[in-house]
Structure 1
């Protein structure tokens, strides 16, 4: 694909995390050969299995399985270290936690070639909008 007329440079399995560290390292090594980028959907699947919303006070009150911030942050931390080790380019899709931003800031400070983006729904649709209301809080 990189050598085709389209000259593809960004590769992703978006919506699915590359959770295998060896596979992610190999992907970063392969794209380095043609200055490509691996775009990662950062979500540790074992920490998010069955999750219905952000893990926090609201998920606890509602009795719903929470999605912990560390599920995103752990993958980003691993991947920026791999990208640094390999000397390759990484893009993190739809960052949603403050901790992830801190990890990315740290990585950029070390010179890791990493970019990221956020989506409007990750910024606007928070667990607070799911909080139960009572007559006293309306």
Structure 2
């Protein structure tokens, strides 16, 4: 798998990423074993970039996907430095909230669910919609 530098971040990400939404059973039921096997297979193929949705989004698969991704990454036993994780903030059950307090809380929630000490990339989820409706 080809790795490319992400801007001037120093991060080298695979040209194909792994979105965690399917791990939350968005396309049908998925077992913990299948989630672990999927993440292991992605890593074996050279995929090192994993992304999850905002943990506070009102979609059940968003939360399920981030939990399952954390479980799977821990289960495969690779070094934390061998993969890159992004998560999102701002689009919450309560609506759009890009305040410093809510963003900080979103990061903390993501870290807990992912069972990680840090995420590499934080993205604002649907910020244009939040700005448009006056958030």
| TM norm structure 1 | 0.45
| TM norm structure 2 | 0.46
Which structure dedicates a bigger proportion of its chain to strand? Answer: 2
